[in-house]
Amino acid sequence: MLSSCLVPALLLATFQAAAEPGEAVDLKVRLEPGGVYRFQRVSLEIQTVTLGDQVQRFDREITSDLRLEVKEGPPQGPFKIGMTFERIRGVLETNGAQTTFDTAGEPPAASDPTMLIQTALANRTIELVLGARGELRAVNGYQEAVLQALGPLAAEMMIPPEQLAASVSDRSARSEYQGMFPILPEGEAAVGDTWSTRVGSEPPPGQKDRAATAKLAAIDAESVLIEMTGSFRRDGDEAAPGLKSSEVTLTARLSRRDGLPTSLRLEVKQTMNTLLPQGLARTEVNRTMTLERVALAEPPPAETPPAEHDDKR
């Protein structure tokens, strides 16, 4: 996750009947320990990096099969969730040179730092701490997994070690995965109601919050539809490092039974400056992330009654 900070996406409450026109509903995440959910996450990204008179283009398409298991948490949250990357596959293209990978097959003969970053989480579980409003409060274990996968190859990366550590930090992962769990409003909302949210998690010190607006667009008997738009532009020195601008749109259909997405589409356009040893690089990023539920939720395991013994001889 060297490229972007991402956006928050949205979760919803459990309801049994369709809302009447104008009826307000309480939007909350409700999960039970032991519940298991499976999703397929597809990330498409095009980066163009300009450094002086040199221009490089990086394309990637990465598909991840995810298993989310609710480990613990009271009904009102927060919930501790183990997210396991059961399979990661994709295509990486740098200036026309293409590489494919699939963690379900044999590992590549030659290790490449970029590929290792993309596959570092294969068959690993990281912890998500999710609040009842969909706010991702923490991600634990991401940085450790990536740096372990890189090992001594981290020294071959173009960016300095401290920037590498920051770009794969648990904090940066929280911005990345917040996009799967949109932030919900305080209290009740009806169709057409809007609320303020933000793009990504909390901004770095000294940067303004990246505001966005979410809307409850529709409700039916099985699901709700939420839409979000947001934009950000940083004023001041155009040559200063950091995020310069961001435009975001999101559409998410959420199950009314468990509050998790059945489908989600997130589009992000960003411009940022990165200070490299060779000079200041300007990066333009176009990214689309989709999330599809690929299986019904597995309910928490039922308690097994003690076996009865027949003492008859």
Give me the count of residues in the chain. 313
Beta bridge partners of 268: 248, 287
Tokens 């494919």 belong to 100
215 Rama class: left (phi>0) / alpha (psi -120 to 50) / beta: beta
Whether the predicted model's global pTM rises above the 0.85 cut:
no
pLDDT of residue 208: 52
Measured distance between the N- and C-terminal CA atoms of the chain, rounded to whole angstroms = 66
Strand ranges in 73-179 using DSSP code E only, listed in sequence order: 79-94, 97-102, 125-130, 136-140
Structural domains of the chain, with CATH: 25-293 (2.30.230)
As a whole number of angstroms, the distance between CA 213 and CA 224 comes to: 17
Which helix (H) or strand (E) is 232 found in, with range?
Answer: strand 223-233
**Per-residue confidence (pLDDT) for residue 224, from 0 to 100:** 85
Beta bridge partners of residue 62, listed in sequence order: 43, 90
The closest alpha carbon to 211, from 2, 7, 4, belongs to 7
Q: What is the mean pLDDT of each run of 10 residues along the chain (313 residues)?
A: 37 41 78 95 93 88 96 93 96 89 76 80 95 93 89 73 84 91 85 82 51 90 89 73 84 86 93 80 92 75 56 46
pLDDT at 297: 57
CA-closest candidate to residue 31, choices 86, 80, 67, 85: 80
